[in-house]
């Protein structure tokens, strides 16, 4: 049985119980005939359609695609527009709320915190039922620009430790409505899963005096140059898309910048159109190869430096961490009994080797 260690978390990933080729895996995986199969919903109730937004809703930000200036939105600039292409509102069911005052205290044995945070919903299109893979690159760029703008704004609040922008699509990932929405959460702490990755990257940097993500990228480029099996799917001047060698999920993808930026907001706006094109290309490739599918897309970025500075953290985070985009399609073999092993141990079982998945995706680009 082949096991590979995740260099970030040091977890073992098991490739098995038997390794199967991507084509066989996809025929065994759950199929969807249409986008509407991905959801169980009543369209009249979608809270993100323009006609269903309450008159009293708070508009944090809204913009038209034509508002994209090549220099990016300035943090101070708030667009408000009736006919929007993107709109940011506070989440109707927020995980965290900004208005809360921070209060930490012990309760005998336990640590308790009444904590502020933020949870914003980016309505990426006014059109119900429009998947991101059908978006124009310009609409995806508008999402990227707006995200950069909102994250920079939230970074000013030193009470907020870590921002997690993510999108879930399809009921497999808990998305109720067929409306493309990006979430931006800011937590008053660094989630443990993120902390483990930060620790792994920090330890690598301590040991090697090099960025782990840079080493992973160079390794894949080296394998390709020397004719070995590799995980690279596609690349542009500023970004590389690959399947990580130790991926725990079939067809999981990282999109990494070629230059070193520890935080998403540090990437210059001039390279965002390239990123938009690559996101569209990857999501569309999956769509063409698999039909409609659920997916999860997360921006893996570093914690708030203002928050960490107060605690004496993140001395080398600028050097040891690289932000990346992670895309995980929700493709699983139906009724797999192996789910119980994962839920009991946390160990992932992946029947598709990442380099084979990359080869498959390359052939469908």
CB 47 → Zn ion: shortest distance, Å?
8
- Which of 179, 217, 324, 348: binder of Zn ion (CB under 5 A)? 179
Measured from the CB atom, is 91 or 214 closer to Zn ion?
91
Q: Per DSSP, which regions of the chain are E strands?
A: 2-5, 12-15, 61-63, 86-90, 103-107, 110-114, 118-123, 162-169, 181-187, 232-235, 239-242, 253-257, 295-300, 324-329, 348-349
**CB-based contact 148:72 (threshold 8 Å):** yes
Say if CB 120 and CB 87 are below 8 A apart: no
171 lies in the binding site for Zn ion (CB under 5 A): no
Candidates 15, 25, 39, 48; binder of Zn ion (CB under 5 A) is 48
Judged by beta carbon, residue 45 or residue 218, the one nearer Zn ion is 45
Region of 176-184, 218-226, 275-283, 308-316 interacting with Zn ion (CB under 5 A):
176-184
Stretch that binds Zn ion, among 38-46, 79-87, 131-139, 163-171 (CB under 5 A): 38-46
Contact call for residue 121 and Zn ion (CB under 5 A): no
Shortest separation between residue 126's beta carbon and Zn ion, angstroms: 8
Residues in the chain: 365
Q: Does residue 46 belong to the site contacting Zn ion (CB under 5 A)?
A: yes
Residues 230 and 37: beta-carbon distance below 8 Å: no
- CA pair distance 303, 96, nearest whole angstrom: 16
Q: State in angstroms the smallest separation of the CB of 50 from Zn ion.
A: 8
| Cα–Cα dist 256/59, whole Å | 32
CB of 128 to Zn ion, least distance (A): 3
- Answer for which of 128, 281, 284, 364 binds Zn ion (CB under 5 A) is 128
| Alpha carbons within 13 A on the beta-carbon side of 147 | 31
Residue closer to Zn ion (CB basis): 46 or 349: 46
Which lies closer to Zn ion via its Cβ, residue 51 or residue 237?
Answer: 51
The residue (of 90 and 126) whose beta carbon lies closer to Zn ion is: 126
Nearer to Zn ion, 30 or 128 (CB): 128
- Backbone dihedral region for residue 332 (phi beyond 0: left; psi -120 to 50: alpha; all else: beta): beta
> What's the rounded Cα separation, in Å, for the pair 221 and 328?
22
Task: Tell me which H or E stretch contains 173.
Answer: none
Q: Does 53 bind Zn ion (CB under 5 A)?
A: no
Tokens of residue 335, six digits:
């009724």
Other CB atoms closer than 10 Å to residue 108's CB: what's the count?
A: 5
Sketch the per residue contact string, 69 through 108, with Zn ion: x for CB under 5 A, - otherwise: ----------------------------------------
Backbone angles phi, psi at 140, to 5 degrees: -65, -40
**Cβ of residue 89: shortest distance to Zn ion, in angstroms?**
13
- Is residue 122 at the binding interface for Zn ion, with CB under 5 A as the rule? no
Minimum CB distance to Zn ion smaller for 128 or for 362 = 128
Span near Zn ion by CB under 5 A; candidates 28-36, 46-54, 74-82, 293-301: 46-54
Q: How far apart are CA 236 and CA 330, in angstroms?
A: 26
Compute the distance between CA of residue 155 and CA of residue 150 in angstroms, rounded to an integer.
9
Find the binder of Zn ion among 19, 28, 49, 78 (CB under 5 A).
49
Nearer to Zn ion, 168 or 352 (CB): 168
Q: Given the rule CB under 5 A, which residues bind Zn ion?
A: 46, 48-49, 128, 179
């Amino acid at each position: 049985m082949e096991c590979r260690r995740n260099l970030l978390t040091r977890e073992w990933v098991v490739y098995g119980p038997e390794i199967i080729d991507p084509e066989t895996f996809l025929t065994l995986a759950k199929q969807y005939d249409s986008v509407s199969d991905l959801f169980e919903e009543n369209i009249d109730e979608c809270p993100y359609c323009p006609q269903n937004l309450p008159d009293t809703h708070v508009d944090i930000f809204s913009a038209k695609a034509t508002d994209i200036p090549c220099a990016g939105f300035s943090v101070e600039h708030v667009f408000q527009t009736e006919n929007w292409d993107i709109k940011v509102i506070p989440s109707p069911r927020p995980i965290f709320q900004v208005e809360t005052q921070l209060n930490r205290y012990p309760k005998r044995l336990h640590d308790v915190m009444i904590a502020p945070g933020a949870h914003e919903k980016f309505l990426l299109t006014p059109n119900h039922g429009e998947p991101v893979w059908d978006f124009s690159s310009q609409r995806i760029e508008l999402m990227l620009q707006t995200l950069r703008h909102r994250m920079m704004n939230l970074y000013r609040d030193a009470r907020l430790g870590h921002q997690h922008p993510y999108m879930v699509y399809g009921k497999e990932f808990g998305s109720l409505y067929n409306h493309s929405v990006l979430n931006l959460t800011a937590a008053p702490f660094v989630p443990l899963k993120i902390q483990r990755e930060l620790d792994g990257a920090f330890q690598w940097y301590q040991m090697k005096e090099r960025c782990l993500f840079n080493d992973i990228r160079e390794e894949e480029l080296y394998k390709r140059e020397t004719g070995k099996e590799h995980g690279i799917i596609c690349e542009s001047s500023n970004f590389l898309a690959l399947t990580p060698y130790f991926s725990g999920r079939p067809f999981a993808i990282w999109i990494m910048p070629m230059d070193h930026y520890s935080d998403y907001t540090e990437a210059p706006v001039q390279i965002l159109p390239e990123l938009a094109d690559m996101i569209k290309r990857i999501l569309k490739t999956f769509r063409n190869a698999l039909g409609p599918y659920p997916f999860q897309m997360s921006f893996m970025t570093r914690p708030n430096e203002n928050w960490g500075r107060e605690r004496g953290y993140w001395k080398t985070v600028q050097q040891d961490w690289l932000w990346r985009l992670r895309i995980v399609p929700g493709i699983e073999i139906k009724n797999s009994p192996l789910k119980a092993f994962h839920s009991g141990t946390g160990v992932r079982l992946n029947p598709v080797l990442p380099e084979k998945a990359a080869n498959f995706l390359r052939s469908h680009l």
